[in-house]
Amino acid sequence: MNSLAKLATSVAKESRIILRDRQALILFFIMPVLFVLILSLSLRDAFGDRPGATFDVLVVDQDGGEVGEVVASAFAASGHFNVERAGQPAPDLAALERAILEDRYKFVILIPADASKQAQKRVAELAANAPPEMLSAPPVELQLLADPTLRLDYRTMVRTALGGTLQGMEMKLFGRQLEQNLKAMGIPAELPHEQNGTRIFAEIRDQPLHSGDAHIIPSSVQQNAPAWTLLAMFFLTVPLSVSFIKEREQGSLFRLQTMAVPGWVVLGGKTLPYFFINQIQMASILLVSVYVLPLLGGDRLDIGHSPLALALLGAAASLAAIGFGIAVALFSRTAEQAASFSSAVTMIMAALGGILVPLAVMPPLMQHFAMISPLAWGLNGFLDVFVRGGGLADVIPEALGLLAFSAACHALAIMRYRSRL
């Protein structure tokens, strides 16, 4: 029997073993798809051009005047907040803090009584050039209570929005006061309180980089689909390495060695079945992300314009994962050791490589460390296609890195296999 026939026999045997394990098949195909669906739907508003998460805000308006109306209207119009208003009698501070801790509101804005009158009086005094020490009206102080579990950038966003609203109101009040002062001096004045939509500067719009004529907006599914495809591929190292060691313990590998079966045939018999499983995994995740996820209210995956680039990345990532699994198996003494080591290293590479946490939100130091993970190379390649509009030439560096990793692992495995002859 020539080497190719032996390889075909080995592939057929390994395929039968895999197909008999129904639990493993569920783990291979169903779990990654479920993870992509759940995470893409859960994180839908954290990516892309959506307004993002919305927060429940209570505006406690003890003023009942212009300040409360302006603040509540500005927050309601932004699209980021679900605004509820409370007037007199105002809840006490302890009750408001308790409402936040009980997760009824994420933010509470307290507007003090007579805030509008106090603001107008202070503007009048400032417009009359009164020195700061002679001002009778102190600054109007609004209070902002925030859920302590919220991220700092969310709290900063609300504080900035409130500050911008109050700054705009200051300008409006000063304009009105200036108009009144000019009229009192007999000078006709009609200042434009509203610009009827006319602006000095055009609105700043985010222009994402794109290729060709299509703008590609990053979404949660464009992060999660490739991320969990890669993680699923690398998690196959666990059953692959365990299967290899069990055959060694049962004497199957020894019999192949005594039959002078070349090492590349033995390793190829393991590689090819798992390679095809990886490709089915990737195809399943992409199909679900394109056709099923939108039916559930999620974003549709834009897979770009280069199927060849996706095929190259899928093949390179699969070979890298399989090479790693075979190397682990040949350097491990027991199946338990192989399973624990391969799963632990895979999770570390996933955490470093932007699979569990997107690379974009990592600090610069961690982004540099991420580049030692093969999963980061694969993820960057997929993002080149999905998000940056790249083609085959753009993913070649990442694919070559994965193939080099695979070649190194397979070379180590073959040397280890031969050393046991």
The side-by-side arrangement of strands in the sheet containing 81-86 is: 81-86, 55-61, 107-111, 143-146
Q: How far apart are CA 160 and CA 195, in angstroms?
A: 23
Q: How far apart are CA 294 and CA 292, in angstroms?
A: 6
| Residue at a domain's end among 164, 184, 204 | 184
83 and 143 part of one domain = yes
Of the candidates 249, 243, 247, 318, the residue with the CA atom closest to the CA atom of residue 282: 318
Secondary structure of 297-336 in HEC code, one letter for each residue: CCCCCCCCCCHHHHHHHHHHHHHHHHHHHHHHHHHCCCHH
User: Does any domain span residue 190?
Assistant: no
User: Does any domain span residue 196?
Assistant: no
308 and 271 part of one domain = yes
The DSSP result for 134-199, as a single string, is G--SPPP--EEEE-TTS-HHHHHHHHHHHHHHHHHHHHHHHHHHHHHHHHHTT------S--TT--
121 and 23 part of one domain = no
User: Does any domain span residue 202?
Assistant: no
With contact defined as beta carbons under 8 Å apart, do 213 and 305 qualify? no
pLDDT at 393: 92
379 and 232 part of one domain = yes
User: Does any domain span residue 193?
Assistant: no
Of the candidates 24, 18, 26, the residue with the CA atom closest to the CA atom of residue 269: 18
pLDDT at 79: 76
User: Does any domain span residue 191?
Assistant: no
User: Does any domain span residue 388?
Assistant: yes
On the 0-12 / 13-18 / 19+ scale of CB atoms within 10 A, 357 is middle
With contact defined as beta carbons under 8 Å apart, do 57 and 106 qualify? yes
> Around Cβ 81, how many Cβ atoms within 10 Å?
21
| Residue at a domain's end among 135, 166, 184 | 184
148 and 222 part of one domain = no
232 and 371 part of one domain = yes
325 and 256 part of one domain = yes
Place of tokens 């098949």: 25
CATH number at residue 171: 3.40.190
Into how many domains does the chain fold? Answer: 2
The count of residues in the chain is 421
Q: Six-digit token pair at 249?
A: 């313990």
> Around Cβ 364, how many Cβ atoms within 10 Å?
7
128: containing domain: 55-184
Q: How far apart are CA 176 and CA 191, in angstroms?
A: 8
261 and 402 part of one domain = yes
95 and 29 part of one domain = no
Question: How many alpha carbons lie under 13 Å from residue 346 in its C-beta half-sphere?
Answer: 25
Q: How far apart are CA 127 and CA 147, in angstroms?
A: 38
Q: Which residues of 22-46 are buried (b: 16+ CB within 10 A; e: fewer)?
A: eebeebbbeebbebbbebbbebbee
pLDDT at 44: 66
pLDDT at 121: 79
Cα 62 to the center of its chain, rounded Å: 40
pTM above 0.95, yes or no: no
User: Does any domain span residue 109?
Assistant: yes
223 and 348 part of one domain = yes
168 and 226 part of one domain = no
Place of tokens 């936040």: 100
405 and 267 part of one domain = yes
User: Does any domain span residue 192?
Assistant: no
Tens place of pLDDT per residue across the chain (421 aa):
566 665 666 666 666 666 666 666 666 777 778 878 887 777 666 655 454 567 889 988 888 888 888 888 888 887 778 888 887 666 678 888 888 888 888 888 888 888 888 888 777 777 666 666 666 667 788 888 888 877 777 788 888 888 888 888 888 877 777 777 767 676 665 555 444 444 444 444 444 444 443 444 457 888 889 998 999 999 888 888 888 787 777 766 656 555 655 656 667 777 788 898 899 999 999 999 999 988 988 888 888 889 999 999 999 999 999 999 988 988 888 888 888 898 899 999 998 998 888 887 788 888 888 899 999 999 999 988 988 888 999 999 999 999 999 999 988 888 887 776 4
